[in-house]
Amino acid sequence: MTDLEATARSFGALTRVRKLRRAEDLLRLALIYGPGQHSLRSTAAVAADGGVVSLSDKGVLGRLRKMGDWLEHILQCLLQDRLDLECGEDLDLSLVDSSVVCAPGSTGSDWRLHARFDPGKGCFADLVLTRATAAERVDHTTIQPGATLIQDRGYCRVRDFSAVLQARADFITRIGWNGLRLLDTQGARIDLMALLPQGDAATEHAVHLHGLDRPLRLVLQRLPPAMAERQRKRVRRRASKQGHALDPRTHDAAGYILLMTSIPAAQQPAERILSLYRNRWQIELGFKRLKSLGGLDRLPACDPGLARTWLLAHLIAAVLTDEIANEIVGFPP
């Protein structure tokens, strides 16, 4: 764990010590406001009643606005401590995704939480908060050498593939039928729709991408009829909401799972690649816990500095809660 007093001063969170003298009390103030779900006025009242600090609501606002960098440092220190947890050797997977948080009254996304989830340890291994203008990128979170990153279509870009390979890791990424320009060994473009399997068995093809100097594997499998119909109904509904005609190829491709991977066939067959990708639901549940149980989607602040403190305090509380739960259980799930 980090030295709260020293870091609070170095990050500029603790500058005036006339009333609030300890970094621990400053952290308590953030936790009362964030996970405590209190307004500025009630935060001041609870802090005074609890003997933490006596401040006005404006005084609380001034303190909270300056805490973002310090709380981010504390969060990263807590996550770094998780690297010491042990897990099985066959569970070296990293699930990568992001989720957005909206400020009150916003018509779009205001904040984006980039995350890496370790299914072997049953918890988030990395959390990075940015403004929503920062697009999804695999390298927003740390890429561990030797890991296998599992990602959805938001990371279906050559730059993300390249970042993973440069970090000496592998990836399994879901792709769309028209998201990448696939090439054969001669450099000619491949029509992915022509490769869709007619049977239920998984198929795979070696493909090349411009900008990468090694071949990748395209793994394809037809979804069960009921699941395929749900996916096609979803894309039809999305096209209707957006007011445009649905491309027939998008409708047909919705009945398949399309994966791109850098793992050689000698290491993992196509069926195993599909099985590994199905672990991705765990990070979706992780986000759901953060929002439904942790209240991360109930951001009350519009001010960027105040909102950042509120969100980081929630993430710190979530990480600490996971650690307490693991101690009670006795081992990671």
Contact indicator for 164, 138 with CB cutoff of 8 Å: yes
Query: Other CB atoms closer than 10 Å to residue 271's CB: what's the count?
Result: 13
Calculate mean pLDDT across residues 220-245: 92
Band (pLDDT 50/70/90 cuts) for residue 51 is confident
Per-residue pLDDT of 190-231, as tens digits, reads 999 999 999 999 999 999 999 999 999 999 999 999 999 999
CA distances from residue 2 to 123, 267, 308, 310 in whole angstroms, order as listed: 21, 40, 20, 20
Band (pLDDT 50/70/90 cuts) for residue 268 is very high
The pLDDT of residue 130: 96
Provide the domain count of the chain: 1
Per-residue pLDDT of 276-293, as tens digits, reads 999 999 999 999 999 998
Tell whether 228 is covered by a domain: no
Per-residue pLDDT of 74-131, as tens digits, reads 999 999 877 755 554 455 899 999 999 998 888 788 999 999 999 988 889 999 999 9
Domain hosting residue 65, numbered range: 4-75+301-329
What is the spatial order of strands in the sheet that 123-131 belongs to? 123-131, 111-118, 93-101, 148-151, 170-174, 256-261, 216-222, 203-207
Residue 167 in this model has a pLDDT that exceeds 80: yes
Q: pTM of this prediction?
A: 0.90
Calculate mean pLDDT across residues 222-242: 93
Tell whether 92 is covered by a domain: no
**3 state SS for 55-69:** CCHHHHHHHHHCCHH
Tell whether 44 is covered by a domain: yes
Residue 332 in this model has a pLDDT that exceeds 70: no
Q: Residue type for 302, please? A: C
Left (φ > 0), alpha (ψ -120 to 50) or beta: where does 295 sit?
A: left
Tell whether 226 is covered by a domain: no
41 vs 330, more confident: 41
Band (pLDDT 50/70/90 cuts) for residue 11 is confident
Mean pLDDT of the chain: 90
Burial of 239 (0-12, 13-18, 19+ CB in 10 A): middle
Long-range contact set of residues 207-210: C-beta below 8 Å, sequence gap at least 24 = 207/182, 207/183, 207/260, 208/182, 208/183, 208/184, 209/158, 209/161, 209/180, 209/181, 209/182, 209/183, 210/158, 210/181, 210/183
Tell whether 267 is covered by a domain: no
Tell whether 126 is covered by a domain: no
The pLDDT of residue 324: 74
Tell whether 248 is covered by a domain: no
Band (pLDDT 50/70/90 cuts) for residue 19 is confident
